[in-house]
Amino acid sequence: GENVEQHPSTLSVQEGDSAVIKCTYSDSASNYFPWYKQELGKRPQLIIDIRSNVGEKKDQRIAVTLNKTAKHFSLHITETQPEDSAVYFCAAHRSGYSSASKIIFGSGTRLSIRP
Amino acid sequence: NAGVTQTPKFQVLKTGQSMTLQCAQDMNHNSMYWYRQDPGMGLRLIYYSASEGTTDKGEVPNGYNVSRLNKREFSLRLESAAPSQTSVYFCASSRTGDYTEAFFGQGTRLTVV
């Protein structure tokens, strides 16, 4: 079945440094790759996403890259700030079809920003 | 516009008891999902629904049943709760046929003793 692997499970970086979280997916029909941020005690919320026809997308300090051939996608956060501390989830999804499909999430990365 | 609303927020059950977690969305979404979140395990899909009257199993459906009562509501039932079902449960919804995000409810923290 579909599977999404996410690494690392925990990540600690110095404030101002960059953080990178990596995911791989197994379903070659997946075409939509969102990233969610979950702050402590709150619900996950979308921070950035990428479609399979795009190799890279950037939004201010965050960017996502996709390698369809290798079935890899990554989240990059530059100039990290204390408010970036949270759990981050990647997901893979078959989107754009007429019927619902599973949204499969990775196991999450707990990012801590050291002052 | 409340988004996705789950009830209750907290619940303690004894082993063997049953309960239903309620979820409702007011965004006119066709697709709805139930996830459980355990430490180090991420969000695991229990069941999902493409539309009223249709449901499909996710990654971890055993021990659960669901009902898509109408377009707005998607409930999750535990018939005989077990300690292994202690978790935080999230309901989510999204549009079907579009590259759009899933919106989550605030979660239900369930403890089975």
Going by C-alpha positions, the residue among B85, B90, B28 that lies closest to residue A103 is B90
DSSP state of B97: S
Helix (H, G, I), strand (E, B) or coil at A82: helix
Element (H, E) at B37: strand B31-38
Tell me the residue type at B73: E
Tokens of A26: 């197994």
Report which of B24, B27, B19 is spatially closest to residue B109, judged by C-alpha positions: B19
Cis peptide before A34 (omega within 30 of 0): no
Per-residue confidence of chain A (115 residues) as pLDDT tens digits?
679 999 999 999 999 999 999 999 998 988 999 999 999 999 999 999 999 888 999 999 999 999 999 999 999 999 999 999 999 999 998 876 655 678 899 999 999 999 9
> Min CA distance, A31 vs chain B (Å)?
9
Q: How many helices (H) and strands (E) does chain B have?
A: 0, 11
The pLDDT of residue B47: 96
Judge whether B41 is closer than 8 Å to chain A, CB to CB. Answer: yes
> Which tens digit of pLDDT belongs to each residue from B8-34?
999 999 999 999 999 999 999 989 999
The answer to whether A46 contacts B107, with C-beta atoms less than 8 Å apart, is: no
Residue of B nearest to A89 (CA): B42
CB contact under 8 A, A96 and B40: no
Is A34 within 8 Å of B102 when comparing Cβ atoms?
A: yes
pLDDT band at B50 (very low <50, low <70, confident <90, very high): confident
Beta strand A45-51 pairing with A32-38: antiparallel
Does pLDDT of B2 surpass 90? no
The whole-angstrom separation of Cα A72 and Cα A113 is: 25
Q: Tell me how far apart the terminal alpha carbons of chain B are, to the nearest angstrom.
A: 36
AA identity, residue A84? D
Say what the pLDDT of residue A13 is.
97
The reported pLDDT for the residue numbered B15 is 98
Judged by a CB distance cut-off of 8 A, whether residue B101 touches chain A is yes
pLDDT tens per residue across span B70-107: 999 999 999 999 999 999 999 999 987 667 789 999 99
Contact residues on chain B for A32, CB-CB shorter than 8 A? 99
Could you count the other beta carbons within 10 Å of the beta carbon of residue B49? 21
Q: Nearest-CA distance from B30 to chain A in Å?
A: 8
CA distance B8 to B24: 12
pLDDT on residue A102 = 81
pLDDT score for B39: 80
The shortest C-alpha distance from A97 to chain B (Å) reads 4
| 3-state SS class at B84 | helix
Q: Residue B85 in contact with residue B23, Cβ under 8 Å? A: no
Contact A100 B40 (CB under 8 A): no
Task: Give the pLDDT confidence score for residue A76 in this predicted structure.
Answer: 98
B96 interface with A at CB cutoff 8 Å? yes
Contact check, Cβ <8 Å, B97/A98: yes
Residue A1 has a pLDDT of 60
- Specify the 3-state DSSP secondary structure of B80: coil
Q: Which residues contact residue B68 at a Cβ distance below 8 angstroms, ignoring those fewer than 6 apart?
A: B32, B49, B51, B52, B53, B54, B55, B74
State whether residue B39 sits within 8 Å of chain A by CB: no
pLDDT recorded at residue A100:
60
